[in-house]
Structure 1
């Protein structure tokens, strides 16, 4: 029998700060009311916050560097197993392994196995200004794609992956595509790797349900009144295995929720 799940993902850009804002992180979590809530860019070390979400199990991944990166997942159901970015590193070979090793130390993955599916939260490395870190980004994208495909083949379970992928896939996914062409987050290289991920058997849930919807963004710069003017980018996604894409019931962008330069994205699916 199929069960309906609601998932949410949010790049909080510093969880300690969001906990103090109004509405606070706890208020937002209550509003989202998700079966699984994934966070990116928590910017925490272990023990820096004492956070309880009643009814949720917690999985954290911390960067070695203080105040940087980090992911976390809160799930109502207890996971059967958990993997982190070292599992992504295992899918990198040769020279790419050293590049992925660098990113794997930054708390970028929480992968949780449940009875019916895998849920993978990711904070993809930023290519940085002038694509200074594009080599790390390309190596990471290849290893991450292989990691996701491997999970599905190994366990015969569909994969749901979400988070900040740090790329606007197509021109419709950002306000100013012409002026940003070639910049980090909208380079041909990054967009190409996202195409490869979709071609490997994954569906962009929001764009599939809203193929022509313009002005739907999940991140806005803090500069130039970008959010007020809705000059944003859609870089936060829920992707699902193609095998369960027809079981997606809803995918939305919660631009009404503030507290970060990103807003949450959500998914409702039957599994």
Structure 2
């Protein structure tokens, strides 16, 4: 997040005047962000950094609207990783999600568990749902770079490509 701010990329996005701006992989605690990043005129902001690994994961939402509620995490073992925010409005729910990478066999198992838990969580609501985030998945070769490395690290497995289709 700080890097995007330093490169003026974050300001370019705010210049587009979005109503809601969900961000993933913010990799910052609130103490590491200065006021120019945290507080934007006309926006409420909600940060959910990782408490497990400082400088890793983390999600944030800027919104011009007042939500009826905000939930960080989804009551699972992943909650200390700063991976999911659910922001509720009168007519819909918005989920801001940073999905696990799944680069090793052990973390791939964890990724599939996260997907299963997340789908159960989302299916509990009768409201329209908007899901946005970094899904950390590659459906086709055009979606990734350094394909040889990705194939070596399970990032291009057929099972992972089928997720979400």
Structure 1 length as normaliser, TM-score?
0.54
**Please, which runs of 5 or more residues in structure 2 have no aligned partner?**
none
User: How many Å apart are 1:48 and its aligned residue?
Assistant: 2.1
Relative contact order: is structure 1 or structure 2 higher (C-alpha 8 Å, sep ≥ 6)?
A: 1
Instruction: Check whether the contact 1:70–1:108 (CA below 8 A) recurs between aligned residues.
Output: yes
| Residue 66 of structure 2 is aligned to residue 66 of structure 1 | no
* Corresponding residue of 1:166: 136
User: How many Å apart are 1:83 and its aligned residue?
Assistant: 1.1
RMSD of the TM alignment (CA)? 2.2
* Corresponding residue of 1:28: 13
* Corresponding residue of 2:32: 48
Q: 2:117 is paired with a residue of what secondary structure?
A: helix
* Corresponding residue of 2:66: 78
* Inter-partner Cα distance in structure 2 for 1:177 and 1:66: 29
- The structure with the largest alpha-carbon Rg is 1
Cα displacement string for residues 35-70 of structure 1 (whole angstroms, at most 9, x for unaligned residues): 100101111113322221111111111101211110
Q: 2:163 is paired with a residue of what secondary structure?
A: helix
Report the number of matched residues: 161
User: How many Å apart are 1:174 and its aligned residue?
Assistant: 4.3
User: How many Å apart are 1:184 and its aligned residue?
Assistant: 3.4
* Corresponding residue of 1:16: 2
Q: 2:91 is paired with a residue of what secondary structure?
A: coil
Q: 1:24 to 1:178 in 2, by over 3 A?
A: closer
* Inter-partner Cα distance in structure 1 for 2:149 and 2:11: 38
